[in-house]
Structure 1
Amino acid sequence: MATVSVKLTGELEERLNRLVEVTKRTKSFYMKEAITRYLDEMEDQLLQESAYDYPPKTKQKEPLTK
């Protein structure tokens, strides 16, 4: 597993600390969860956007049958 360093604003740090204190889970747990959810959403969005580009806007050289 890779280690990543993130600088948080004071507000985000306070919110994260409160959540950790109340739930007794780790900061790492919430950071991994947040990143996973964000990546899932972004990947879904990219897939949806690429669907609008189908079929590709390329010219066919010759018809397959005459």
Structure 2
Amino acid sequence: MSERLETLKKARDRMIEDRDAHAKVLAAAFERDTAERARNKFVEMQALIDALYRAIKSEGTISGAN
């Protein structure tokens, strides 16, 4: 596995951990301000995870072509 692909996977795993922390806040007792911040961060993190997933898929395709 290339170093770039490994780095992307590590970044994705780290962002999943961060996203999970925000999900826990959303699942807890409702506090408007806290929930709103957690929701916004969750959506932001999910967009980043999706982008990392696409990069990993692309890198795998590129690496497989070589």
- Smaller-chain TM-score bracket: 0.3 to 0.5
Bigger radius of gyration: 1
Using the size of structure 1 for normalisation, the TM-score is 0.43
Highest RCO, 1 vs 2 (Cα 8 Å, sep ≥ 6): 2
Question: Which one has a larger percent helix, Structure 1 or Structure 2?
Answer: 2
Q: TM-score, normalised by structure 2?
A: 0.43
